């Protein structure tokens, strides 16, 4: 504060003190801390969510998702798009969501297919990027250099592409888990997403256009 006669004026912050004045430095420190521990927190949440879904499979099957969407009225498609783009962040398999979309929007099957495929690409990119948050991948490489070296060797080897295709094609497995591993191993995103789409394309197409029959067979 600066006193001039009987009046008091507030001292304006200088350019150098602006970050401190507005709390930007504190926010940056807090954000850095969150990013540093992001992967640990995320993995704990994923384990809890997947554990609950294994204990209570009825929470997330095609019928329960479809019933929920049908009760949303005009908002159903918008919610379906949002869920399709974000469900990968919890490593939840896309199978029940794709089947539910085919049930809830039978007159828009191509749109459901498009939403599902875009959701797979967006989700793969997000999960692929997670290991770099807070330099978690570098931290693990420093802590477990031999194990990370083996992982990189496998994910850059001649069978890696075929492995991702096979993993993606197998129903009811969290396909996005392999995206996280690929990101950790710094595998080329282009190679990873190409293999992922080769495996997912026929599976998602079959889910949508043969949804009822496949749903009964998979019991989802």
> What pLDDT, in 10s, does the model give residues 7-21?
555 555 555 554 554
**Predicted model pTM:** 0.78
Give the CA dihedral 33, 181, 97, 52, nearest 10 degrees: -60
Domain boundaries in the chain?
A: 18-218
pLDDT tens digit sequence for 46-62 = 999 999 988 988 888 88
Q: Is the pLDDT of residue 165 over 70?
A: yes
- How far apart (Å, rounded) are the C-alpha atoms in residues 113 and 101? 9
Share of the chain above pLDDT 90, in %: 52
Q: Which two tokens stand for residue 76?
A: 């159903």
- Spell out the residues 6+ positions from residue 41 whose beta carbon is closer than 8 angstroms to its own: none
């Amino acid at each position: 504060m600066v006193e001039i006669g009987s009046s008091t004026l507030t001292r304006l912050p200088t350019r150098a003190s602006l970050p401190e004045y507005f709390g930007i430095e504190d926010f940056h420190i807090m954000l850095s801390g969150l990013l540093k521990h992001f992967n640990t927190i995320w993995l704990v949440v994923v384990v809890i969510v997947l554990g609950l879904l294994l204990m209570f499979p009825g929470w997330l099957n095609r019928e329960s998702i479809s019933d929920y969407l049908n009760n949303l009225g005009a908002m159903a498609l918008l919610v379906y798009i949002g869920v399709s783009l974000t469900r990968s962040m919890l490593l939840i398999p896309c199978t029940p969501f794709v089947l539910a979309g085919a049930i809830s929007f039978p007159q828009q099957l191509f749109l459901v297919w498009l939403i599902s495929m875009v959701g797979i690409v967006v989700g793969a990119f997000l999960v692929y990027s997670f290991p770099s948050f807070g330099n978690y991948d570098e931290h693990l490489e420093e802590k477990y250099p031999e194990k990370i070296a083996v992982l990189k060797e496998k994910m850059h080897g001649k069978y890696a592409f075929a492995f991702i295709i096979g993993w993606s094609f197998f129903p009811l497995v969290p396909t996005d888990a392999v995206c996280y591993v690929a990101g950790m191993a710094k595998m080329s995103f282009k190679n990873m997403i190409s293999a992922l789409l080769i495996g997912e394309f026929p599976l998602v197409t079959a889910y949508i256009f043969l949804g009822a029959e496949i749903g009964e067979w998979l019991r989802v």
